[in-house]
RNA sequence: GACCUCUUCGUCUAGCGGUUAGGACAUCGCCCUUUCACGGCGAGUGCACGGGUUCGAUUCCCGUAGAGGUCGCCA
């Protein structure tokens, strides 16, 4: 197979669908695997929907996923232009060729139709096998509208011929169109390319993924701070398999194995839980700096998206983000910032390294960046309420009140404050009380954070500082055991 | 409705005539642990159904059912 040339040919609808993204990914993988060329062609024949923003969404989505193209509207190439809206002359020429052969006729209103041979088209599909498409009873397809604009089937084929496309890898929803397309290839004296119709990606309930569904657009993953390589990796696993137990795979590994044999034949449901798990695997592999960069970007963007209904965007959260990132608070946030500062010695004088410290603590706990919001509010807003179940558990313990008071006393007596000193304080209290250190940890956690779960406790206390820790203990301890 | 494709745990998948049907996500349990996690170990749940072919079918063939797709002067 020499000179493999594949293409991704989206129409600009304003967003990049994950199904489309996976189609692009598979085309890209096939090209890269075979030393071929990956062409991006924008099918913007529908003038109403064709906006620069919609085209930009395609570029940014593909780039975010790490896909690059060798020929395309932005970078040009030997078979351009790559915007269908600029290729009218080529379509006119191709139409003239069909007209010359007597293969077209004009409707009363001016629409042009292609005279179908009305035969059964045999499609040798690399994935579906030999598919027979009976075209004998189908009406002639329209190839040009009365206003002179051309129909998808026609421009698609003319472009594939002109751009020397050798393999068409596209969604299975196109399989019937291929009958029409092969007719056109033949009418234009061109050899049809090889076809591979890949199964579709469905929602978790088996329905078709549409724009409205969460996660249907690549933008969703961008906005929610997903790691591009993780989403890409997960997408590869939908309809493709290395045929062994590998799942977390480098792109190079996937590329090296990418061939028809490894492609599935059945539709796959998108499992957001597993996608998030996959993202978590990539987060674990990230450096603290990489994670902090993604997290901070998300925090800044998220704090701008005011939505009081969503606790992630409530005013407390936004104020907290302003404090930590140094962003400019709005009026209501500024008030909240003052409240936070008066409630928290730590936040009253946040050090420059506080955000990095906070994110370092949270990183091991999250699979996807937005999960940091919950941790942020729960652990770093001293006013956050005590979780009922955690409180019940603490109250069930004997002497919880005096133990917490004892802990506070030992902490207060510390001259210096770091993780080792926190350990020392807890150990001292444990010794005095005659209990194991482990018996103190849970009540301590609940008293300080109000939660039964959260980030690693000792480093958290070290980060919070002595004053904040003691204040929370003194304040919340009695409430817990009253 | 017609036509096309598909059918292994809830989900993604391995399996290409003989396997205790493997892995992953999710769920549950245990262990590890100074807390929370991570991690480790383990459990449960699956070959859609009915016929063939065969010494033997998850695997091959034919039906049935189910799911998805397509039937545009959208792409």
Catalytic residue from among A63, A101, A208, A211:
A211
> Is residue A17 classed as helix, strand or coil in its secondary structure?
strand
pLDDT tens, residue order, chain A (482 aa): 469 999 999 999 889 999 999 999 999 999 999 999 999 999 998 766 678 888 999 999 999 999 999 999 999 899 989 999 999 999 999 999 999 999 999 999 999 999 999 999 999 999 999 999 999 999 999 999 999 999 999 999 999 999 999 999 999 999 999 999 999 999 999 999 999 999 999 998 888 888 888 899 999 999 999 999 999 999 999 999 999 999 999 999 999 999 999 999 999 999 999 999 999 999 999 999 999 999 999 998 887 776 666 656 688 888 999 989 888 888 999 999 999 998 888 888 888 889 999 999 999 999 999 999 888 888 888 888 888 888 888 877 777 888 899 999 999 999 899 999 999 999 999 999 988 898 899 999 999 999 888 999 999 999 999 999 999 999 888 877 76
In contact, A226 and A197? CB cutoff 8 Å: no
Strand (E) or helix (H) holding A209:
none
Q: Which of A45, A42, A64, A55 is nearest to A15 (CA)?
A: A55
How many angstroms from the chain centroid is the CA of residue A477? Answer: 42
Active site residue A211: yes
d(CA A89, C1' B3) / Å: 36
d(CA A457, C1' B39) / Å: 18
Residues pairing with A37 in the sheet: A5
Residues ≥6 apart with Cβ < 8 Å to A338: none
Measured from Cα to the C1' atom, the residue closest to B33 is A438
Task: Report the C-alpha dihedral over residues A423, A424, A428, A429, rounded to 10 degrees.
Answer: -40
**Nearest nt to A155, CA vs C1'?**
B75
Residues in A 363-402 whose C-beta is less than 7 A from nucleic strand B are: 364-365
In contact, A279 and A226? CB cutoff 8 Å: yes
CA distance A228 to A234: 10
Residues in A 125-154 whose C-beta is less than 7 A from nucleic strand B are: 128-129, 131-134, 139, 141-142, 145-146, 149, 151-153
Q: Which of A159, A145, A137 is nearest to A42 (CA)?
A: A159
CA distance A216 to A333: 33
């Amino acid at each position: 197979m020499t000179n493999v040339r594949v293409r991704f040919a989206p129409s600009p609808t304003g967003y990049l669908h994950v199904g489309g993204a996976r189609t692009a990914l598979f085309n890209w993988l096939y090209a890269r695997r075979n030393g071929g060329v990956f062409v991006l062609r924008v099918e913007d024949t529908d003038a109403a929907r064709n906006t620069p923003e919609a085209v930009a969404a395609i570029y940014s989505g593909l780039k975010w996923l790490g896909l690059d193209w060798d020929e395309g509207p932005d970078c040009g190439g030997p078979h351009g232009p790559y915007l269908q809206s600029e290729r009218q002359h080529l379509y006119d020429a191709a139409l003239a060729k069909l007209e010359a052969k007597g293969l077209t006729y004009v409707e009363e209103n001016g629409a042009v139709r292609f005279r179908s041979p009305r035969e059964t088209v045999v499609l040798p599909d690399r994935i579906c096998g030999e598919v027979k498409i009976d075209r004998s009873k189908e009406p002639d397809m329209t190839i040009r509208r009365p206003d002179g604009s051309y129909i998808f089937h026609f421009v698609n084929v003319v472009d594939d011929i002109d751009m020397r496309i050798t393999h068409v890898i596209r969604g299975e929803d196109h399989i019937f169109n291929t009958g029409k397309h092969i007719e056109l290839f033949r009418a234009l004296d061109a050899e049809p390319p090889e076809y591979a119709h890949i199964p579709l990606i469905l929602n978790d309930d088996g329905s078709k993924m549409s724009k409205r569904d969460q996660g249907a657009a690549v933008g969703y993953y961008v906005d929610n701070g997903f790691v591009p390589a993780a989403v890409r990796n997960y997408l590869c696993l939908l309809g493709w398999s290395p045929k062994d137990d590998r799942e977390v795979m480098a792109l190079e590994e996937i590329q090296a194995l990418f061939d028809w044999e490894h492609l599935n034949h059945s539709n796959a449901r998108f499992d957001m839980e597993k996608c998030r798990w996959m993202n978590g695997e990539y987060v674990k592999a990230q450096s603290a700096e990489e994670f902090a960069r993604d997290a901070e970007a998300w925090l800044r963007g998220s704090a701008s998206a005011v939505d009081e209904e969503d606790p992630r965007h409530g005013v407390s959260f936004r104020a907290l983000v302003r404090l930590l990132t140094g962003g400019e608070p709005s009026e209501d946030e500024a008030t909240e910032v003052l409240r936070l500062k008066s409630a928290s010695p730590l936040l009253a004088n946040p050090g420059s390294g506080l955000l990095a410290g906070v994110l370092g603590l949270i990183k091991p706990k999250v699979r996807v960046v937005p999960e940091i919001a919950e941790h942020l509010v729960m652990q770093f807003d001293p006013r956050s309420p005590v979780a009922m179940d955690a409180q019940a558990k603490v109250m069930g313990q004997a002497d919880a009140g005096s133990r917490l008071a004892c802990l506070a006393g030992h902490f207060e007596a510390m001259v210096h404050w770091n993780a080792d000193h926190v350990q020392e304080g807890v150990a001292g209290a444990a010794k005095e009380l005659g209990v194991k250190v482990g018996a103190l940890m849970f009540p301590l956690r609940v008293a300080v954070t109000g939660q039964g779960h959260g980030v690693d406790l000792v480093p958290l206390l070290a980060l919070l500082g002595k004053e904040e820790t003691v204040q929370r203990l003194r304040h919340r301890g009695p409430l817990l055991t009253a």
